[in-house]
Structure 1
Amino acid sequence: MRTAVMVVILIVLGVYEASAQYGYGRGYGGYGRSRMGSSMMGQTGPSGPTEEPPTAAEIADERLPEYVAEFKLDPFETEVLRTYLEEHFNKVMALQKEKGKDAETMRKDFERMQNDFKSNLKSILTEEEVEKLITMDFSQSAVRKRKKERDN
């Protein structure tokens, strides 16, 4: 139970962080890039134009290549995963926008969404792969490390 709560918190924070980061670095690396990386370009930030938060499709598109490489997905599995990701991110974003729900209700709703997402993923991934996908880190250093490990 404690692990499930931690996973829920990490995913909610991850989507929130994606929204926050995306406005600063979208054109210069997108999701998963640090804000420092985008400031080197000199065009975005507080004084530059503000962008809309990413859509579920944009977040899925940013993460999908990493998932495909990590889990060696075929084209069919890739499209199924894209659909599952978009659906899940849309639900999470909708939950984040809801006003008037107490924290416990939101936590339960998110946990229910997370369980549905995991159930869907089990149609194309093993139990271990589902857990790995749920907990994957998309920081720039983690993506670089995974790529280096795959190349060796």
Structure 2
Amino acid sequence: MAPKLLVAAFAAEDRPYVDRAIEHGIDVRILDCFEDVHALVQFWYKRRSIHVPAQKSSVKSAVGKECFDMAVIRDTPHDFVRAALLAQTLREANVGQVVVVANDASRVPIYRRCGAHQVIISEHPVEFWTQLEQRLLSQVTAS
């Protein structure tokens, strides 16, 4: 069975990597709860999106029903609080692995305290997505 991946903080530069993961058979869903990316998520991934209000209880309920193996949260330089709250909510929703991708190592303790299983420091999306794809593809071929 293909691993089930939630992309919880989507950015336009993630699109090629999300598309490639889908092509490789990974079951990808995009969390659509923030207005700043809503139009893009709906345009590109309408059938793969989980659209809920940006409230902890709504996100936790919707995500909890899906039984995700992993969630990816990319922090942004201007809003690390959003990533921390997402990590906490997704951990409480019983996501198997909550992974935060950050470009500032000083934020690692914050994300870990908020529930991230793993924090990866990476300045460029290609570095992280390459590692993630290899990890997920090994799960696809093992099943």
Q: TM-score, normalised by structure 2?
A: 0.30
Q: TM-score, normalised by structure 1?
A: 0.29
More strand by percentage: 2
More helix by percentage: 1
